[in-house]
Amino acid sequence: MTRKEFAVIGDPISQSLSPAIHRAAYDFLKVDWGYRAIQVVEGALQVSLSQAAEYSGFSVTMPLKYEAASLCKFGDEASMVTGVVNTLLVSNEALIGFNTDVFGIIQALSNIEKPDSIAVLGSGATSVSAIYACQIAYPNADIKVLARNAQRAGELEHRFGISSGVIPSDTLNFDLVINTVPGQRYSAAGTILLASYARDEALAVNEISGKEMLLWQALAQIRIFYLGSAETQLPNEDQLFQQMRLAISDL
């Protein structure tokens, strides 16, 4: 394959593990592709993309996921439903948007016991993806969005037909909690997925690292960059995924 350039964009961006993950995958696939981290502040995405014509695609992180969706001419089902885009593919100078966070959340939770009650903490773009992922994976579960911003939580309540409230100070009594609030940890009776990862984080026995979500959503991104589809598996994908995991095992 010819040389291609990709990047992860957002603000802040220096802590991102995406370059290590993607470079490991590209080495495994034996493609001459570059991948770097670029800081892009909120409100500057369109201008930044217009100055990056050499790039074939982007991983999009906070706070640009809504902004990215607004710039796309086409999108996959998950991005259309959520209005959230974390993957941009440049095709014939048009932007195609994808939301691979939904896939990443579903896969990160694939080994847990099916929950009857779910709390999604936070009201940003990742929480929207988490709500939609839970509605797909656990259609019979009782889902509640809890946020510090009661108004925003209420908006998500009406949008997705779920209940809402504010985050309580005591233990969260739910089978599954998806915490999308950066830098905040909460106590829960059931499983907790930490959607915001931290380097060298120490996990409680009931916590799942956000690195799991990160790895799985990155796998779908690499499928898109390599094959144009998030659903088609890559060559020797199990071994490729292990190389991706090893790339961040000490980070």
Q: What is the mean pLDDT of residues 18-43?
A: 98
Q: What is the mean pLDDT of residues 29-53?
A: 96
- Its pTM stands at 0.96
* pLDDT (tens digit per residue) in 92-135: 878 999 999 999 999 999 999 999 999 999 999 999 999 999 99
pLDDT of residue 201: 80
Task: Establish whether 211 is a catalytic residue.
Answer: no
Q: Is residue 79 classed exposed, middle or buried when 0-12, 13-18 and 19+ CB atoms within 10 A define those classes?
A: buried
Q: Is residue 171 classed exposed, middle or buried when 0-12, 13-18 and 19+ CB atoms within 10 A define those classes?
A: exposed
Over 70: is that where the pLDDT of 1 sits?
A: no
Measured CA to CA, the distance from residue 230 to residue 76 in angstroms comes to 9
* pLDDT (tens digit per residue) in 194-245: 998 877 788 999 999 999 999 999 999 999 999 999 999 999 999 999 999 9
User: Could you give the percent of the chain with pLDDT greater than 70?
Assistant: 100
Q: What backbone torsions phi and psi does residue 168 show, to the nearest 5 degrees?
A: -75, 165
pLDDT of residue 199: 77
Measured CA to CA, the distance from residue 27 to residue 8 in angstroms comes to 17
Least confident of 11-20, 26-35, 197-206, 231-240: 197-206
Beta strands 142-146 and 117-121 are parallel
The domains of the chain, with CATH numbers, are 4-99+212-247 (3.40.50.10860), 104-208 (3.40.50.720)
Q: What is the mean pLDDT of residues 186-194?
A: 96
pLDDT of residue 198: 79
Beta strands 94-98 and 87-91 are antiparallel
Q: What is the mean pLDDT of residues 164-168?
A: 94
Measured CA to CA, the distance from residue 65 to residue 59 in angstroms comes to 10
Over 90: is that where the pLDDT of 150 sits?
A: no
The single residue of 4, 30, 65, 114 carrying the catalytic annotation is 65
pLDDT of residue 2: 84
Q: What is the mean pLDDT of residues 36-41?
A: 98
Q: What is the mean pLDDT of residues 18-36?
A: 98
